[in-house]
Structure formats: C-alpha cells, structure tokens
A and B are shown apart, each in its own frame.
Chain A
Amino acid sequence: MSQLINSVLVLLVLTGFMLLSSSRLAACIHVVAFQGVLLGLLAILMQHGELTVTGVLLPLSTALVKGFLLPWLLFRAMREADTVREVEPLISYNLSIIAGSAVLVFALWLGQRLRLPSQPPSSLLVPAALFMSFVGMLVIVSRRKAVTQALGYLALENGVYAFGAAVALRLPVLVELGILLDVFVGVFVMGIAIFHISREFEHIDTDKFAASTDRPR
C-alpha cells in the first residue's frame, strides 16, 4: 500500500514540474486535471481499514470535479477567450524549473521539521503537498495570462487538499462538500471574469493591468 502511495506522490511532484515547464496552455490544463485525478486516488488509498461508502464517494467526486469539470470550464474559457495557446511566462522556463527545484528542496526541509503527531504512511506526504502549494503560488506570480493564474490557484488548492489527505483529516462530509463547492464556484467565476477580460482587453495578459497602482507620494 505504501508503495502505491509513494508512486502517487512522486507522480504529483512530477506534475508540479510539468506545470512549470510546459509552454502550451492546453498541456498545463491537462496536467492540473491529472493532479485532480491523482488526488482522488490518494484520498482513497489513505483510508484506514475498511472502505466506507462516503469514504469512496467523496474522493470520487473530488476527482470528478478537479479532474474533469474544472478543466472543462477552463478549456471553455480559453476557447471563448480565443487566446494564443502559449503560456507566456514572465520568467524563462529554465528559470521556472530552477525555482521549482529550489522550492522542492525547501519543501523537503520543511517536511523534515514539521513532525506530525502520528507517523504518516509515507515520509513524502507532507513535502509533496507543500511542494504542490508552492508551485501553485509560483505559477500565479510568474505567469502573465489570467487563465494560467487561475490554473495556479487550482494547483495551490490541490496542494492544500493533498495536505489534508496527507494528515488523514476526517473532516465532516458537509465541510468537504462545501470546500469542493467553493473551489468549483471560484473557478467558475474566474472563468467568467477571464471571458470578460479577453473581450475588454482583447488579450488576457494581466500585466497590462497597470492603470490603478498607487505609489507613495
């Protein structure tokens, strides 16, 4: 079992690097979708003892929403926005990878220092989750397009979710559903905003936003 969990975690770390390195927007969306499916799998693997109905249904719905529904929304936003299919990072892909590696080292170090009260089934769990969150934030600050920033938010949220799975939190079902609903509506509203941004600015580069920045006088 822990072999399987470890493989899933390694795959999750790899998706983080793929997200940082791919230049095609569509590929990035696929990567985040894959993350969603892996998260569902992870949550099922982390169940202790017997499988319960909610214990399977919740991860399944997570995988469904994060792996299929949200990517579909983002693809639609991308198509309607008729954007150039390039990611257009503010920093080069090489630099992104280097930053990603530095973040991975930091996450491993942090994972060593944060001692969980009970031994997790894999020592990789906490570092992998933290790494995913950091990658999400890295994508948000280093990418120009609104769609990519929404993707970064999703990756960050996935990382946080992975941490929840890692410490085998048993949150009440209602709360789990509420969190999932919030993420769904969040990306939905972002999708609408992306559509409007593309119409208003005829591109979706948020770095064209500069009109209203204050400077000390």
Chain B
Amino acid sequence: MIKLLVLIPACAGIVTFFVGSDRIRRGVLISAALTQTVLSLATWVVPPAPAMGAWLAEDPLGKLIETLTSVLFLAVSFYAVAYLREERSQTHSDFEEGFIFSNAREASFTGCLLLFLAAMTLVAVSQQLALLWVAIEATTLASAPLIYFHRHHRSLEATWKYLLICSVGIALALLGIFFLAVAATNPDGSTIALMEQDLRLNAHHLNVPWFKAAFVLLLVGYGTKMGLAPFHVWLPDAHSEAPSVASALLSGALLNCAFLGILRAQEISVAAGLAEFSGRLLLIFGLVSMAVAAVFICGQTDYKRMLAYSSVEHMGILAVGVGLGGAAVFGAVLHVINHSLAKAMLFLVAGNLLAVYRTKNTGGVAGALSVLPVSGALWLLGLFAITGSPPFGPFLSEFTILKAALDQGQTLVAVIYLSILAVILAGMAAPALAMAQGTPPEHIVPARSRSVALSAVPATLGIAVFVLGIYVPPVLTRALREAAHLLG
C-alpha cells in the first residue's frame, strides 16, 4: 500500500510525458491525484504495513504530512486543469515588459507535477534518512521545470537560482547525513543503521560532537530548501515567477517536506537529550526568518513576492514552535496544516487576479471585490487569515505557540514574536484592503466566462482554513498530538 502511494503518481507522471491528447492527459492527472488521495485517507483507517525492510513506513508525523500533501495536490490539480485550459494559446505577452513568450509543453508540465507529488510522498514515508535525502533532492529536480513554465528570462533566472542554491544546500545536508553516520559508529566499529527509529532508540549511544555537527549541517541544508533566512534568497524569485499552480504547491507542500527533514533530525536530538542545543538553534533561525520576512513584506509592491516572503515568515514560525518545545510543538504541527491550506489558497487567488489585472504590482490592482467577487473576497479574507487574525486557523496555531512561550517564561521570545507578527499584519493589511476596494482601472473587463474550478478550489481551501479556526476534529487533534509527541 505504501509503495502504491509513491508508484501511482510516479507511473502516471512518466505516462503523461508521452500522452498527446490534452483531454486524456488531464484525466490522468485528476485520476492519479484522486486515487492517491483516497489511498492516503485509507491509511488513516487501515494502518499500512511497512515496505522495503521498513524503509518505507508511516509514522504519525509522516502520515500527517503525506495526507496534507495529497489533499492539497488534489485541490490544485482541479485548478491546474482549468488553468491549463485557459493557457492554451501558444504565445503570451509579458505583463511587465511586454515581450512575447511561449509556455513549456503542457505534457512536460503535467508530468513534472505528478513526479513532484511522487517525490514529496516518498519524503513523507521514508524512514531511512539517506533515502529521505534522495527524495528531497528529487523534489528539487522535479519542481525546477515547473518554475520555468512561462519561458522568459525572469522565470529562467528564478529556476537557476532555485536549482543551484537548493542543490548546494542539499549537498550540505548529505554531508550532515554522513556526519550522522559517523556519530552512529561505536568505538568498537559496530554501527547503528540510519533508520529513524533505530537512531531514536539508540540515541544515547550517539557520539555527541559529531551529532551536533550533523544537526547543524542538516538544519542548514534542509533549511535552505525550507526557506529559512538567511538561506531563503531563492524563494521569493521561485514562488513569484512560477505559475500559480506551481507556487501553491511549492509553498503549501514542498516547504513542509523540507521541514520534515529537519523534524526527523530534531526527533533524534530530543531522544538523545540534546533538545536544548537543537531547540535554541531552531529558535534563532526561526526568529531571524520572521524578522527578515517582516522587513521585506513592508512596502513590498509585488503581491506574489509578498506571499513568498510570508512563506519565509511562516517557516520561521514553525521553527520557533518546534524550537520552544512542549506545547508549542503541537501549535507548530497544527500551523503546518493551516499555513499550507491558507497559502495555497492565496497563491491560487493571486493567479486569478494576475489573469485579469495582468500585473503583479499591488498598485495596479484595485476594486477586486467588484471585478472578481469570489476571488476578491477570498483574497481579503485569506490575507487576514495568513496574518493570524481570528477566527481563522492560523490564529489558533500562532496563539498556541505564543501561549507556550509565555508559559515557559520565554518572555523575550514572546515579545519579539508578537511584535514581528504585528508588523507583518500592518504591512500586509494595507495593500490587501487597497487591492480589494476602490474602483477598478478602466481597461479591466470583468472576467469572461472563466472556469468555475478557478474560484471553487480556492474557496474550498478557504472554508477549510475557516473551519480549522473554529473546530479541530478530535481525530485530527489525536493525530497532531501523536505527531508532536516525539518532538519534545
């Protein structure tokens, strides 16, 4: 069953490269996403048996990330089909500089989407740390072509930065894995296998200096991929130049997978009794990321970049939550879900705004509520949700982390955390209101007959974010608690 989770999207992805008919290819995309989602929901009822000598297995944390990725991918794939239908025409003129460009082949785009899903699923179910590394690097390679869908120089630049910076980061993570293997070597030459569970159970036998060095390398390496400052430089470019379908997945699903890489190291660190060391590192990187994001969000004139920097901020919040430990970890794991849903929705809505207003400049968008009633409303509510306003999901999780910080007597952390959140709220609320209200520019024609899926998908995600703010189902609470359990 676990193998199927990875194999279905992988095989479908390879097949779609060679399918000529648009209709069949889009059908394959939807049906693969649907089957995979059903399967991963089924794993909540029937726990799957480990496969490949327990290299692939579902633990509570992996199950959570895996299901989130599948559900998000399914939603995005409905949007993608509608989006690709609208993008049919062969050439486009650039919004910003007016030159003519064409899109990449739709077959390669769809194929890479599915391979990307396969790689992300493999990340979530890998229990072998080196295999986890292979899977994370595979996500980079499968998603790089997605960023270069619109063939022009800015997206190419973004792709190159993404490919190079993330590959270098991940090469450092591989060094971290090797360091970990050294740490797991006993003086008598016997070794602990690089399996998550074995390492956790034998954590006290690990060589401490080598493990610390390994943790730093893994944090820097996977942190690059996750977008923690100061290694985030690729992220705003990639997330703003990619088509909205890809941005939603990069932000909503891929960042979580990189975070999972760090969480695996943190689980071992907690078991080894080094939570104080690794927690402090996570806390520092988290607060720095939040601060850097705040600096770039204020006065940001490009709304997709604004969303990208907001992802840096939220990755910082996750790191802070896990770094604090205790009750904050629960908040962080809940925040993974809230951020993914809200950010994916916002990127999809940004795609709708971009299609009508043909500019990424916040100043060029006005009156979105009257031109695109559904997308305009979702944009406004989504921005308030992502900045942590009640009653949405992110408020609940951000508040849980804040409360844990106060309970632990980390007043300084709480004050910094809260003031950065306030700055970001102010920085994002102003453009959000200006874009939603006012009179639209004259040349903007209210949308022609656009596909329903383009607003229905973000609306569904928006409802989920809203519901999670009011009511977290008991089954989810239990799963979150189990997932947070090993993280201190």
Contact = CB atoms under 8 A, between A and B. Distances in A.
Interface of A: 114, 116-118, 133, 137, 140, 146, 149-150, 153, 156-157, 160, 163-164, 167, 169-172, 174-175, 178-179, 181-182, 185-186, 189-190, 193, 196-197, 200-201, 206, 209, 211-212, 214, 216-217
A15 to B, nearest CB: 18
Contacts of B174: 157, 160, 179
Contacts of B164: 140, 149-150, 153, 190
Nearest to B237: A212
Contacts, number: 118
Contacts of A150: 164
Contacts of A182: 134, 137-138, 141
Contact of B134 (A149, A163, A178, A209): A178
Prevailing SS type, chain A contact patch: helix
Interface string B155-177: 01111110110011001101100
Contacts of A211: 153-154, 157
A197 B296 contact: no
B433 interface: no
Interface residues of B, number: 53
Contact of B296 (A169, A171, A214): A214
19 contacts: A116-B182, A117-B187, A137-B168, A150-B164, A153-B164, A167-B178, A178-B130, A178-B131, A178-B134, A179-B134, A179-B174, A181-B134, A182-B141, A186-B137, A200-B156, A211-B157, A212-B158, A212-B237, A217-B298
B145 interface: yes
B160 A167 contact: no
Contact of B186 (A117, A185, A197): A117
Given A214-B236, A214-B305, A175 B131 contact: yes
A212 B296 CA distance: 13
A193 B131 contact: no
Interface string B102-133: 00000000000000000000000000101101
The listed residue with most B CB atoms (<10 A of its CB), out of A133, A140, A212, is A212
Contact of B181 (A167, A186, A216): A167
Q: Which 6 A-B pairs have the closest CB atoms?
A: A217-B299, A178-B134, A175-B130, A182-B137, A209-B157, A117-B185
A36 B210 CA distance: 27
A178 B130 CA distance: 9
Given A163-B175, A164-B178, A193 B156 contact: yes
Contacts of A190: 163-164, 167
B82 interface: no
Contacts of B128: 172, 175
B295 interface: yes
A214 B186 CA distance: 48
A185 B143 CA distance: 12
A178 B189 CA distance: 26
